[in-house]
Amino acid sequence: MPYWRLSAYYLFYFGALGALVPFWGPYLQSHGFSAAAIGALMAILMGTKLVAPMLWGWLADHFGARMPLARVAGLATCLAFLAIFWVESLWSVAAVMLAFSFFYNAALPQMESVTFNHLGVAVNRYAQVRLWGSVGFILVVGALGWWVGEAGTGVIPGAVLALFVAAGICTMLVPDCSHPHQAHPAPSVRRLLARPEIAFFLLSCFLMQFSHGVYYAFYSIHLEAVGYGSAQVGALWALGVGVEVLVFLRMHWLLERFGARSILLASLALAVLRWNLIAWLTPLLLVQILAQALHAATFGAFHASAIHLVHHYFPGPVQGRGQALYNSLSFGAGGGAGSLLGGLLWGSMGAGPTFALASLAALAGWFFANRFVDRERRF
Higher pLDDT, 182 or 68: 68
pLDDT recorded at residue 181: 52
Identify the helix (H) or strand (E) that includes residue 121: none
> What digits encode the pLDDT tens for the residues 299-335?
999 999 998 898 888 877 777 778 788 988 898 789 8
Distance CA 293, CA 313 (A): 30
CA distances from 206 to 199, 263, 267, 315, 344 (A): 11, 17, 14, 21, 19
pLDDT at 124 over 90: no
pLDDT recorded at residue 379: 47
Residue 241 half-sphere exposure toward CB, CA atoms < 13 A: 25
Question: Which pLDDT band holds residue 365 (cuts at 50, 70, 90)?
Answer: very high
Distance from chain centroid for Cα 375? 26
CA distances from 339 to 37, 135, 332, 345, 368 (A): 11, 25, 10, 10, 22
> How much is the CA Rg of the chain, to the nearest whole Å?
19
pLDDT recorded at residue 185: 60
Distance from chain centroid for Cα 230? 22
* 165-189: average pLDDT: 78
Distance CA 242, CA 125 (A): 19
pLDDT at 79 over 60: yes
User: Taking the model in full, what pTM does it have?
Assistant: 0.78
pLDDT at 184 over 60: no
Domains of the chain with CATH codes: 3-176+192-372 (1.20.1250.20)
Q: Is the dihedral of CA 227, 229, 230, 233 positive or negative?
A: negative
In contact, 372 and 200? CB cutoff 8 Å: yes
How much is the mean pLDDT over the chain?
A: 88
| Cα dihedral value 13, 18, 22, 28, nearest 10 | -50
Q: SS3 letters for 18-61?
A: HHHHHHHHHHHHHCCCCHHHHHHHHHHHHHHHHCHHHHHHHHHH
Contacts of 29 (CB under 8 A, 6+ apart): 38, 221
> Among 190-194, 322-326, 352-356, which is the least confidently predicted range?
322-326
